[in-house]
Amino acid sequence: MSDKPAELKLWGGRFTGATDPLMNLYNASLPYDQKMYAADLEGTKVYTQGLQKLGLITEHELSEIHRGLEQIGKEWASGEFVEKDGDEDIHTANERRLGEIIGRGISGKVHTGRSRNDQVATDMRIFVRDELTKILNFLKELILTIIKRADTEMDVLMPGYTHLQRAQPIRWSHWLSMYATYFTEDYKRLEQIIERLNVSPLGAGALAGHPYGIDREFLAENLGFNGVIGNSLAAVSDRDFVVETMFWSSLFMNHVSRFSEDLIIYSTAEFGFIKLADAYSTGSSLMPQKKNPDSLELLRGKSGRVFGSLAGFLMSIKSIPSTYNKDMQEDKEPLFDCLTTVEHSVLISTGVISTLSINKEAMEGALTMDMLATDLADYLVRKGVPFRETHHISGECVKTAEDEKLSGIDQLTLEQFKKIDSRFEDDVKDTFSFEVSVERRTATGGTARSAVKKQLESLKSQITK
């Protein structure tokens, strides 16, 4: 890469010697920050309006600048933008091209009072705000897809697990509602992050503020921000919104990973609860019978990629002094990769859950009578026996059924029940129904049909309010 004459660089007047070509490459960020071309052009468009309000550029010059910016935007969108040596980032590339279109006499005024420090910070906030808003809408669709499926398949029962051991019967819809709950909390957190990051650093200059008294509130309003960052030092150096975005992404991907792990287990031949659509599965290069849940394994694996992006960036910024330092350029690659990974993960998750098929018979066939041992204890509680005592009695019933090599505690005779505890009566047999078991749990958050419907309605209202 050849070095451009120093006077053409934004920072070139102080330097007369050529830069090491490797340093040019090491310093350049255009290969990845060109993603922000639209944000950069919009920021410049509004900033020059602010300059025109101050009388620092004329209406004609503003018109020419906006004409040039429109053309640059079309070139980026169509893939016709030609990058040149010296285009170290999206900001220098756009300004260089603007000079070619409208002449350097006018384009040279664009940067008046502005630093790349506040320019970069502004572009990033615009870009991240827009990307997170897009992800928010995709996440809403994922949640609504889960809710719709849960409502449709309300009748299906399955084992609920603790320690990956069969615990108590639940509804398949209850399991779906669990992840809809996690994702709804993610949705609400993301709304808050978008609100917090949506403040403007533009007009803060390099660090000390704007020398011409530009109207920062005007700039913020016209760029869709809710306000301005009140301290110019903080405005150019703050990257907490990047960290928060990656924190949120890490937590969301943790939920996606757990969601994926459950479905991977449920899709195995040993469980056979679900079957993934072909669109989200692959085969084996050697074993023709295999159908691998690669979509879910990739979702699970990519969570580590996102966690790594967060950890790496935190190490990059943990001890840099105020205000702007070049270390902060390391924010973009992990952030952009994180946003792309999360967006794709939301879309893939939506595709998986909307297209998989369930095996109702396998799910309900996995229910075993020992899972109703707690219901047996509850039976005696309703007759006035303290729970700690009924827990022990129910355990004796389980052990007796095992010793007698019975298929389940429901196979014990009334006489056997009474031998264990005389308070058992004929109606003990009514305990051994999986449907009755789930329907007894009517309290908020429970497995009864009414409780699950209430959960789904609440979740839907939270994201469609």
Catalytic positions are 163, 284
Strand (E) or helix (H) holding 169: strand 165-171
Task: State the Cα–Cα distance between residues 129 and 138, nearest whole angstrom.
Answer: 14
The closest of 24, 207, 5 to 115, measured between CA atoms, is: 207
Beta bridge partners of 358: 274
422 exposed, middle or buried (CB, 10 Å; 0-12, 13-18, 19+)?
Answer: exposed
| Token pair in block for residue 361 | 């018979």
Contacts of 20 by beta carbon, 8 Å cutoff, 6+ apart: none
**What CA dihedral angle connects 83, 85, 89 and 90, to 10 degrees?**
-30
416: left (phi over 0), alpha (psi -120 to 50) or beta: alpha
CA gap 67, 70 in Å, rounded: 5
Quote the crossing angle between the two packed helices 116-152 and 90-102, to the nearest 10°: 110
Q: Indicate the Cα dihedral angle 253, 254, 257, 261, nearest 10°.
A: -170
CA distance 163 to 296: 21
Give the angle subtended at the CA of 140 by the CAs of 134 and 144, to the nearest 5°: 150
SS3 160: strand
Judged by phi (left if over 0) then psi (alpha if -120 to 50, else beta), residue 139 lies in: alpha
Query: What SS3 class is residue 115?
Result: coil
Q: Residue 54 has which token pair? A: 């101050």
Distance CA 327, CA 339 (A): 20
Inter-residue contact 76 to 93 (CB < 8 Å): no
DSSP string computed for 290-342? --B-HHHHHHHHHHHHHHHHHHHHHHHHTTPPSS--GGGGGGHHHHHHHHHHH
Please say whether the beta carbons of 136 and 153 come within 8 A.
no
Structure tokens at 116: 């790349």
- Joined together, the tokens standing for residue 2 give 């050849």
What token pair was written down for 331?
């924010």
